[in-house]
C-alpha cells in the first residue's frame, strides 16, 4: 500500500486529469463537425444517418445545439479554473493553498472565539461552584448529550462495557482532576488473558469463584478456596484484597459493580479472553473550558443531583 503514496502516483493523477479535459474538448470538436451520412434521391444530402425503423422513421444527423456546446465549453473552463485555485492535480496545492483541514481548523477557531465569552464567567469557579451554577450545568448537560451519551446513555447509567456515571464507582479516580484528565486524554483499560498465568484448566473456574466470593456474589465456596492461592497473579493489578487500582484502571472486585456483567461464566470468559475498553480522548473535540464544565457536570451526576434528559 505504501506504493500509493509515491510521487509517481501524483504525476499519474495530474496527467490523467489534464488528458481527460483535453479529450472532452476534442470530443466536442469531433461531434460538432457535420458529416454527410446519407444521400437521398438525386444524390442530394438528406441529413440522415441511414438508419430506418418501421419503414419510414429515419434518424437525422442534426448538429449539437449551440447552447449545449457553450455550456460544455464553460464546464471545461470552470474545471481548469478550479484546478488552478484548488487541489486536484495530484499533490498540487492550488494557488489558494486551500485544504479541508485548514478550513475545519478555521471554523473551529471562529466557533471557539464566539463561545469564549460564555465560558469566561466560569474560569474562576471551582467544581463546587460550577455544580451550583444553573447555566454551567445546563451547558454541561448539552455537552454530555452531544459527546458522551452515545456510549454512557442519555441517562448516564451506561450499559454492558460502558461505565455507569451516576454511581460512585470510578475505575480511574473520581476527583475533579481525574475526570478532567479522563475526558481530555481518554482511557485505555486492558486486562490480558490470564488463564495460562494461573495454570489453566480448573484453576480458571476456581479463581472465577474466588472473585465472585470477594463481593459476596453467588459462588461455589469449595472452588473459591481452591482459587484463592492462584489469585495472587491477579493481585498485581487488582490488589491483594481485590479492591482494584485506579492508577491502572483495575476495577474493585469487592463491590457488586460489574462492567461486563456478572456470574461464573462471564468471569471465566474474562479470565480466558481478557478485556480491552477504550474511551477516546476529547482534547481535539472540546476546549479546556468546555472540559472543565463537563467534568463538573459528570461529578454532579455521581452525586445524584443532576437530571439528564434526552436530546430533543
Each of the 312 residues of the chain gets a pLDDT tens digit; together they read: 345 566 788 888 889 999 999 999 898 888 776 555 555 554 556 677 777 888 888 887 777 788 988 999 999 999 999 999 999 888 888 999 999 989 988 998 898 898 889 899 999 899 999 999 999 999 999 999 999 999 999 999 999 999 999 998 999 999 999 999 999 999 999 999 999 999 999 999 999 999 999 999 999 999 999 999 999 999 999 999 999 999 999 999 999 899 998 899 999 999 999 999 999 999 988 999 999 999 999 999 988 644 444 333
The confidence score (pLDDT) of residue 156 equals: 94
C-alpha distances out from residue 197 to 165, 202, 296, Å: 33, 13, 41
Helices (H), the chain: 7-32, 66-85, 100-120, 127-132, 134-147, 149-152, 176-185, 202-214, 221-228, 235-238, 264-273, 288-302
Residue 234: what pLDDT?
Answer: 95
**Total count of residues recorded for the chain:** 312
Residue with cell 448516564: 156
**Residue ranges of the chain assigned to CATH 1.10.760.10:** 109-186+280-302, 189-279
Task: Decide if domain 109-186+280-302 falls under CATH 1.10.760.10.
Answer: yes
In three-state secondary structure terms, 282 is coil
Predicted confidence at residue 45, as pLDDT, reads 63
The most distant pair of C-alpha atoms in the chain lies apart, rounded to whole Å, by 113
Q: How far is CA 169 from CA 47, 52, 164, 257, in A?
A: 86, 84, 8, 8
Domain 189-279 has CATH 3.30.70.20: no
pLDDT of residue 136: 95
Confidence at residue 29, expressed as pLDDT on a 0 to 100 scale:
84
Amino acid at each position: 500500500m505504501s506504493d500509493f503514496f509515491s510521487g509517481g502516483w501524483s504525476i499519474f493523477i495530474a496527467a490523467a486529469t489534464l488528458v481527460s479535459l483535453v479529450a472532452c474538448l476534442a470530443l466536442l470538436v469531433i461531434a460538432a463537425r457535420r458529416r454527410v451520412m446519407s444521400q437521398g434521391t438525386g444524390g442530394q444530402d438528406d441529413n440522415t444517418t441511414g438508419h430506418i425503423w418501421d419503414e419510414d422513421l429515419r434518424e437525422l444527423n442534426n448538429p449539437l445545439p449551440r447552447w449545449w456546446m457553450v455550456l460544455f465549453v464553460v464546464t471545461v473552463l470552470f474545471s481548469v479554473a478550479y484546478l488552478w485555485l484548488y487541489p486536484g492535480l495530484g499533490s498540487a496545492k492550488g494557488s489558494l493553498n486551500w485544504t479541508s483541514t485548514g478550513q475545519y481548523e478555521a471554523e473551529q477557531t471562529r466557533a471557539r472565539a464566539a463561545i469564549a465569552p460564555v465560558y469566561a464567567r466560569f474560569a474562576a469557579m471551582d467544581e463546587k461552584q460550577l455544580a451550583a451554577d444553573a447555566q454551567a450545568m445546563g451547558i454541561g448537560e448539552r455537552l454530555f448529550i452531544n459527546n458522551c451519551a452515545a456510549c454512557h446513555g442519555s441517562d448516564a447509567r451506561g450499559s454492558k462495557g460502558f461505565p455507569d456515571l451516576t454511581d460512585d464507582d470510578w475505575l480511574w479516580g473520581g476527583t475533579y482532576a481525574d475526570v478532567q484528565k479522563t475526558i481530555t486524554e481518554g482511557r485505555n483499560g486492558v486486562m490480558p488473558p490470564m488463564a495460562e498465568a494461573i495454570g489453566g484448566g480448573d484453576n480458571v473456574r476456581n479463581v472465577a469463584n474466588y472473585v465472585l466470593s470477594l463481593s459476596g456474589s453467588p459462588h461455589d465456596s469449595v472452588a473459591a478456596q481452591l482459587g484463592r492461592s492462584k489469585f495472587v497473579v491477579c493481585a498485581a493489578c487488582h490488589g491483594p484484597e481485590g479492591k482494584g487500582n485506579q492508577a491502572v484502571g483495575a476495577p474493585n472486585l469487592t463491590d457488586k459493580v460489574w462492567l461486563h456483567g456478572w456470574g461464573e461464566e462471564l468471569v471465566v470468559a474474562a479470565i480466558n479472553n481478557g478485556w480491552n475498553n477504550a474511551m477516546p480522548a476529547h482534547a481535539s473535540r472540546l476546549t479546556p473550558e468546555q472540559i472543565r464544565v463537563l467534568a463538573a457536570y459528570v461529578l454532579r451526576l455521581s452525586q445524584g443531583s443532576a437530571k439528564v434528559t434526552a436530546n430533543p
